[in-house]
Each structure stands twice: as C-alpha cells, then as structure tokens.
Amino acid sequence: MSSLAARPPVVVLLGGPSAEHDVSIVSGTAILDALRADGFDVRAVLIDLEAGWWWLPPDHERAGRPQAAYDEPAALGGEGPYTIGQALDRLAAARPAPVVFIALHGPFGEDGTVQALLDAAGVAYTGSGVTGSAIGMDKAMQKRIWRGLGLPVVDWREVSAARWGRDRGAVLAELEAFAAGVGDARLMVKPDRLGSSVGMTLAHGPDERGPALDLAFRYDTLAVVETYLAGARDLEVSVIGTEPPLELYGPGEIVAGHEFYDYAAKYTPGLSETATRAEIPDGLRGTMRKLARDAYRSIGAAGFARVDFLLHGDRPYLSEINTIPGFTPISLFPTMPAEGGLDFTAVCRRVVELALERHAGRVAARLRPSDLPR
C-alpha cells in the first residue's frame, strides 16, 4: 500500500494463555505468512499457556505444522521463555521500532491486558486500545451500552457467581420468571468474558439451568443469560478504520452445523458453512452496516473488529463485537472486504497502517517537574 512508505518491522503475537490458543496459532501464522510474502520483515512471538514469551526463529513459517506443534516452542527453535517484563523490554528496545500485530483471541490478548502492557511500554500495536478491548470482551457491558443507546439487543439477565453460590433458589426463580415472560423455556447461558462458544449452554428447560450456570462459572464470575432466538441467523459485519468514515463490509452469514454455533461447529472443517454475502434485502444490509458502525464506535473500538448479529425473522439484533476476530484465510472477517477490493494481505496491511496512525496520534506527553500543578 502506497501510504505505508517505509514498512515497519512487524511482530506477530500468537498463542496466548486462553482457551482460544489454537485458533490464535491459525490466525497468527496466516497473518505472518501474508505480511512476509508482502515484503514485511515479520517475526513471530509465541505466548505459551503459562504466559511465557518465545521469539521464534526469524524465518519461522507454519509450513503445514499442526497447532499442537506450537505446544513445544523450544522444539520450534524458539528463544525463551521470556517473562512479560523481559519481553516488553525487548520490544521497546528494538530498532527500528516494530508494530505488534496482536493475533491473540480471548482473555489476556483480546481483553485489554496485552494492550495495556504495550501502552505502558510505548509499543505500537494493532486494533483497539485498552477500553475498546475490555468492553469488546465483555458481553454484559456491551449490552448495557447498546441498550442505553437504543440499539437492538437480545433481552438478558446477569447472574454473578457469588449470588449463585449464596442463593440458587432465588436465581432459578428469577430465570423462570424471565423465561415465562418471553413465553419460551429455552435460555442461552454464557460466561460473560469469553469466546469461541466455550462454557456456553442452550438450557432447554428449568432442569438444565443449574448445570449451565455451574459450567459458565468455571470460566467467569459473571454469567449472561439470554432469551433464545429460535431459528435466528448468524450474520457478521467487518469494520475497518478508526475515524469516520469507517469501512463496512458484509454482512456475511454462517450456517451452523449444530443446534447453535458452538465450538465444534466453529472449528470442525466442513461442519459449518459461510457466505461472504448473506442473502438479505438491500435495505436490511444498509441497516445492519449502520448498526455495526454505531456498535463499534460506542465501545471505542479502533483499527478493526467484527460485529455479530442474530437475525430473527427480519429483525436484526446486535449479538456481540469481537475486537480480534478469527483471522484465518477462511474466516469471514478478513474475506468479506474482498467486495471492496481488499484481499487477505491488503486487510493485514491496512490493519498495520491503522496501528501506526493511532500510535503516531497518541498523547504521550512527558511531564517535567515544572508542569506539575504545585
């Protein structure tokens, strides 16, 4: 891309101490290969499940290795493990200064934690900052914001693990009343801050609610319980940019091969089908893009994100935003922009470019003693 006149070195962060470790290996190595083929100097840094950081050899490429090969970074010739502090020092000292492409999914990588660490070290990185990332990981927080703005969300209740531990009976009674009000006994029970459908249950009736909450609380201290939208379609919009006008692509559609789009449906090849262009009326397409834009801006997202919808009949509901969506060559996020002429490599390049812009525009004033309000 012309505006990336001098290409910065890129460090792709992949792996990470989350349940989506393996998905991140697929996303991260795809980004690594694409940017390198495009002429970038790219280095892969693998974060293991214990949060140790490993610099893989400068010429490392996936070369068809299974995800499990990344369980043994030393066997890949990795240098490490570095502690977080050592890794940040190394990134901050590198010249020319690199852009960190965060290809991590889920807690730690997508929730503002890594973003805060890189901010503190003064290192440029892709995507949303701390606030956008933290809210983007938090389904309840998104719903509170979107409902407050009058954007359409699926009705929900929140249950804390502490309350569940104290008063199961009251929680179950409240959920009964919630389901009865809707007239459908089925409820979706989810851990608040996770992804890849991990820890989620479609509880078909009262008996299944307790076990569903117990499961959700293995992953988080807050559970979101939603009305089940029977027969809803899974539609997704790609958003790229930081300042308006944002680039909006899609919606594309996922047709889950299971009762809902669970972990197996997401990652078993052939089980679910995707279309980069959903078959919906043009008016609805425009409406959904506007909703995606509003949802993205409302949480303070930057760089890129995927906004997910549930389409129930002809009514679109905002489901969630993913600030680091699946980024594999067959994922919807990086393939929908093809309708605007951006292929996978161009999307990666654009994301790096937006990271540089945001980094250059940050307020990083160093104070002197005379600046203090004494």
Ligand X SMILES: Nc1ncnc2c1ncn2[C@@H]1O[C@H](COP(=O)(O)OP(=O)(O)O)[C@@H](O)[C@H]1O
Positions that interact with ligand X (CB under 6 A): 154, 188, 190, 194-197, 200, 226-229, 232, 234, 256, 260-261, 308, 310, 319-320
User: Smallest distance, Å, CB 359 to ligand X?
Assistant: 28
β-pairing, 156-160 vs 222-227, is antiparallel
d(CA 123, CA 138) in angstroms, rounded, equals 25
Pick 242 or 335: Cβ nearer ligand X: 335
User: Smallest distance, Å, CB 183 to ligand X?
Assistant: 15
User: Smallest distance, Å, CB 197 to ligand X?
Assistant: 4
Pick 23 or 200: Cβ nearer ligand X: 200
Pick 48 or 308: Cβ nearer ligand X: 308
User: Smallest distance, Å, CB 92 to ligand X?
Assistant: 32
Pick 153 or 355: Cβ nearer ligand X: 153
Contact 300, 128 (CB under 8 A): yes
Contact 135, 322 (CB under 8 A): no
User: Smallest distance, Å, CB 252 to ligand X?
Assistant: 13
Which residues are 226's β-sheet partners?
A: 156, 188
Pick 44 or 232: Cβ nearer ligand X: 232
User: Smallest distance, Å, CB 141 to ligand X?
Assistant: 13
Pick 308 or 353: Cβ nearer ligand X: 308
User: Smallest distance, Å, CB 323 to ligand X?
Assistant: 12
d(CA 182, CA 324) in angstroms, rounded, equals 33
Pick 4 or 256: Cβ nearer ligand X: 256
- Closest residue by beta carbon to ligand X: 261
d(CA 198, CA 260) in angstroms, rounded, equals 12
User: Smallest distance, Å, CB 236 to ligand X?
Assistant: 9
Pick 229 or 342: Cβ nearer ligand X: 229
